[in-house]
Structure formats: structure tokens, C-alpha cells
Chain A
Amino acid sequence: MHEVKPAEALGFTFDGRALTARAGDTVAAALLANGVQACRQTPVSGADRGPYCMMGVCFDCLVVIDGVGNRQGCLVPLREGMRIETQAGRRHPDGAQS
């Protein structure tokens, strides 16, 4: 996706990549604005998924935010310095998503 009108930018990382997005965006919107279409892999087949409904209904935009997994990216406002990671499959108790 591309932006109609750029605004104040916030810095964040996605899987270690430094990115910026507009202050006021949700995490899911920030990822879309950076051309990231897939942000999780499903627990069943491992297929890539990305934001689908953008309104908290579908849970396909689940991501790991600052080490906390299963967050709905479309409901979380982006903050400066957020560390966002792909949610890979199931949560593992000893992994990064605990």
C-alpha cells in the first residue's frame, strides 16, 4: 500500500529490519504501508498470512510485539521503537514468543 499523505514518522523494527510509519497508524497499517503483506505463519500448515479484516475480527494480523505474542496488529497503535516480529506458527514456551 502507499500513503496518500505522509505525516510524522515513527521508527520501529519488523523482524530486525528498521522501518518507519506514520504516527497514528496501527501496527498492521504500519506493516502494510511498508509493503509487508504477510506477518504470521499459521499453526496448522505454516502458510503465510497477513492482515485481512483490519478491524479485530479475523486474527490474521497476529504478530509478536516487544516479545509478547498473539497481539492483534490492527488494534495496537504503533509506538516509537516497537520491536515487531513475525508470529511463526504456535507459541513455544521456550521461544521468543513466550
Chain B
Amino acid sequence: MIAITSIGQVAEHYDIAVVGAGPAGLAAAARAAELGLSVLLADENPAPGGQIYRAITTTPVTKRAVLGEDYWKGGALVDRLRPTNAAYAPGCTIWSVAPDEAGGFELGLSLGGQARLIAAGQVILATGAQERPFPIPGWTLPGVMTAGAAQIALKASGLVPSGRTVIAGCGPLLYLLAGQLAAAGANIVAVLDTTPRRNWLAAIAAFPDFLRSPYLAKGLKLMAAARGKLPFKTGVTALAAEGSGKLTGVTVTRGGAAETIPCDALLLHQGVIPGINLANAAGCAQHFDAVQHCWTPTVDGWFASSIPGIAIAGDGAGIGGAESAALRGEVAALDAARRLGRLAEAERDAHAAPIRAELARSLRGRRFLDLLYRPAPQFLAPPADETIVCRCEEVTAGQIRDAASRLGVTGPNQMKAFLRCGMGPCQGRLCGPTVVELIAQERGVSAEETGYYRLRPPVKPVTLSELAALPPTDAAIKAVVR
């Protein structure tokens, strides 16, 4: 592994560029480098691991039990990459992926305040997941964070929320995080579970598969540990963060009655969804996954997207968890090597067969979890008009409903023009899924039909000075010289 610390160390061309150093990206980069390909692994974060194995090489948390045994498995992925020749660039943002004239791709990079354009024959996007937006009144108050944010602060910096802490939402990660924070010494005054009771009816058909899945033992242990020790409240139907300027409490509705729990930190979680911005901006086709209830890039059995040469591995192409992400990364790397002519099809298939078998095993039981922890409709499309949906431009649910019904706005792209919704720096990452739900609900159509934002590069803000300082290419010079 060759660590890249400045933009000048990045080569002009790589056989494969991998975006994201979580489990999928680490495994893809390692496999590709082991096959003798030149590899760039670019990652925004300061250290490898992605979010699930966040800070695996640098964490100050030394008590292994606090983060659980699964977390420490991430170390093996980094160890596998170390002896290879893959170039690893931390703190490096990829803001653009576009086809180039040579049949490969041109990537826009930013590192240490400087930008560059480089070429890669194949691209593997391993951009992972983000938490599903969970808009409730007051969710923009300082003191309210995602549950994942608290977990990142714990893994990367050994931080634990001070004061009275409430965790609210739905999904297996909610129980995992509650357990981890409690083990690290947090004062958890309530765990507010919004899992709709009727989800059990939908999920029960998928239960037999779950019984044979690796999730079962893990899940039961988590539930037993969390439920036994922590103050659980189930059947939560509405939430509102209270406070003026900063969080002071959370109002929770259960069985038609509301109560306010004073707290200093509120951690929200409503499952995770693929981070699709880069794939979307690169033009990869996507569809609405009805089970996981989110927009998902469309990929084939090799995790190849609709654009030949761009693969999407890991949770960025559908949530499957860390173990499956690493396996998907390997499969994508094998196919990328085949596309580059470095691996015959038969060799690729032979290498992939055992990985595929493991992948199938790791995903068994997933459907049960997806159905059980599907968020309730009122958390996907907030009923209170004053709830902010677009955190950047401070656009509310009421404004979006009004634009969809009275002004006849039919989709999220048109909504941008009317309300500037999705046009702030986060570029729809925190409002997109909610805007789609609200428009779909208001117009009585499906999310699929409503569509999603059409995103454009740069997918992360890059300064004008960085762009102006880009070394000009021959083509760019020809374009302006007469």
C-alpha cells in the first residue's frame, strides 16, 4: 500500500480507481492489486475503514467489548491491502466521474485543497451507505445527531454524548449503537422504538430464511443485551425535538398519548440507504427498491452499472452489510480485471465462485430485516407542515406539499426550481428521499414514478480556485485556441 499525502503523488493513470475505503473498497482494491493491476483507492476520510470499520487502525477505544467483535474484523481488510502496491489516498474527494476519449474515465479529485483530473480504465464506486433521513420537528437543533454520527464519534475519537441521551428510531443498528454507547458509559435515558407493529405481518413470510441466517444469533444477542439493560419504549408513533437554539427534550407519542422526556442529546436512526450521489451524477441507471424502500443503482451479477466500466460494490448498490460489501467488492474487482483483459472469463468465474457462495450466505435473512424495520410512513413523509425537510435551504414539508398540490410540481427536479429544495451544499443527500415521498403521497403516485433528483458533478463542492488551477489538458487548450 502506497500512502498518498499530496495531490502531486497521484499518477496520471490507473488501471482501476476505487472510490471509498470501506469494506467494499478495501476488498476491491486489494483483489485488483493482487491481480497485478495499478490501483488508486481514494477516500474522503482521514483513515481507512469506511463508516462500519471507522478508524479501525486509529481508534482510541481499546476495550474490545465496547465496539463488539464484528468491528475488529475490519483490521483484516486493511492488513490485506498493506503488502500490495495499491495507492491509497485518504482525505481525497472524488467529485466527478466521466467517460474519456480513450474509452476509460476521467476523474476529478480534490486533496489538500488542490484539484486534479486523472484517468482510469475501470471505476469501482464503493461509496457505501448513509442514514435514511428522519425528519421530525426540531431535528435541525444542535444536540440532535444521527445515531451513526454518535457511533463515528465513539469509534474515531472515543467520544460519548454528555448528559441525558435519547436514541430514537428503528432498525438493528439502533440496538447495536444503544448497546455500544451504554458500554462506553453513556447515560441513556430512553430508547424510543418506532418499528411499526404491523411490520411483523409483512416480515413473517421471510422468517424461515432468517432462522438460518448469520444475523439471527447476532441479533438475538444484541436485543437481549439492549432490552435487558436499557429503558426501552416501543410503539412510538410520533417524535418532536424540543428546544429553542438547542435541544432540551423530546416529545414522544405512544398509544395516542404524548410525553416530553428532557434530554441533552437526541440520536436519530431510521436505517441506512445507499449513498447514490456519485453514481447518479455519473449517469448510472437507478431504480426504486420496494423492499428496502430507497433509490438504488441498477447493477448486474458482477455489480456492473448501466455504464460499461463503472461498477458499484458494497452498500452503495443496495444495503447488505459489511460482510457482503467486502465480498461484492472482490467480485467487482474480478470483473474489472476481466474487462481490462487481465483475467480470462473462465478464470474470473473460477475465482468468483467461492466468493459468491459466501455472499449468498451473508445475505440470507436480509429480507426479513428489511421488511421488519421498514420505517413507518409518517417518518418517511413528515405529517407536520413545519418540519424542515431540506436542511440546507430550510424548506419545510408544508411548502413541498403545497408546491406538489397547488402548484402542480410533479417531481423533485421541478421542485428545485420552485423551492431551491435540494440545491444546498448537501445536494439532496438529506432531503431527496423525503421530497420523493411527499410528492408521491400528495399526487397519489408511486416513488418510482415520481423519480429522483438528477445530480450533476461536482458531487461535492470544489472551490473555483481549485478548478481554475487545474492543469489544462491538450483537448482543453485546443477548445479555446483558434
Q: What is A's interface to B at a CB cutoff of 8 Å?
A: 1-5, 7, 22, 24-26, 29, 32-33, 35, 37-38, 42, 44-45, 47-60, 62, 68, 70, 74-75, 77
B420 to chain A, nearest CB (A): 9
**Interface pair B143/A44, CB less than 8 Å apart:** no
With A and B bound together, what is the CA distance between A56 and B149 in angstroms? 10
B131 CB contacts on chain A under 8 angstroms: 53
A-B contact pairs, 9 of them (CB 8 A): A2-B160, A4-B61, A4-B154, A5-B60, A5-B158, A25-B156, A51-B145, A53-B145, A75-B91
Q: Mark B30-52, 1 if CB is under 8 A from A, else 0.
A: 00000000000000111000010
**Interface pair B394/A3, CB less than 8 Å apart:** no
**Interface pair A55/B148, CB less than 8 Å apart:** yes
B152's contact among A54, A59, A77, by CB below 8 Å, is which? A54
In the complex, the chain A residue whose C-beta lies closest to that of B161 is: A1
A23 to chain B, nearest CB (A): 10
B51 CB contacts on chain A under 8 angstroms: 55
With A and B bound together, what is the CA distance between A48 and B350 in angstroms? 56
With A and B bound together, what is the CA distance between A96 and B290 in angstroms? 48
B313 at the interface (CB under 8 A from A): no
**Interface pair B424/A49, CB less than 8 Å apart:** no
- Tell me the dominant secondary structure on chain A's binding face: loop
B424's contact among A38, A48, A56, A59, by CB below 8 Å, is which? A59
B25 to chain A, nearest CB (A): 14
With A and B bound together, what is the CA distance between A74 and B60 in angstroms? 17
A44 CB contacts on chain B under 8 angstroms: 393-394
**Interface pair B159/A2, CB less than 8 Å apart:** yes
With A and B bound together, what is the CA distance between A51 and B426 in angstroms? 13
B392 at the interface (CB under 8 A from A): yes
With A and B bound together, what is the CA distance between A32 and B60 in angstroms? 16
A53 CB contacts on chain B under 8 angstroms: 130-131, 145-146, 148-149, 430
A60 to chain B, nearest CB (A): 6
**Interface pair A48/B142, CB less than 8 Å apart:** yes
**Interface pair B425/A59, CB less than 8 Å apart:** yes
Whether A29 touches B392, Cβ cut-off 8 Å, given contacts A24-B60, A52-B145, is no
With A and B bound together, what is the CA distance between A1 and B148 in angstroms? 15
Whether A77 touches B91, Cβ cut-off 8 Å, given contacts A37-B246, A51-B145, A53-B130, is yes
With A and B bound together, what is the CA distance between A33 and B159 in angstroms? 7
**Interface pair A29/B159, CB less than 8 Å apart:** yes
With A and B bound together, what is the CA distance between A3 and B59 in angstroms? 12
B62 at the interface (CB under 8 A from A): yes
**Interface pair A51/B156, CB less than 8 Å apart:** no
**Interface pair B425/A70, CB less than 8 Å apart:** yes
Q: Mark B43-82, 1 if CB is under 8 A from A, else 0.
A: 0111000010000001011100010000000000000000
**Interface pair A24/B160, CB less than 8 Å apart:** no
B147 to chain A, nearest CB (A): 10
A4 to chain B, nearest CB (A): 4
A62 CB contacts on chain B under 8 angstroms: 425
In the complex, the chain A residue whose C-beta lies closest to that of B144 is: A52
Whether A50 touches B429, Cβ cut-off 8 Å, given contacts A2-B160, A4-B184, is no
Besides A7-B158, A26-B157, A59-B426, 10 new A-B residue pairs in contact (Cβ under 8 A), listed by A number: A2-B160, A3-B158, A4-B184, A26-B156, A29-B159, A38-B245, A50-B143, A58-B429, A68-B113, A70-B461
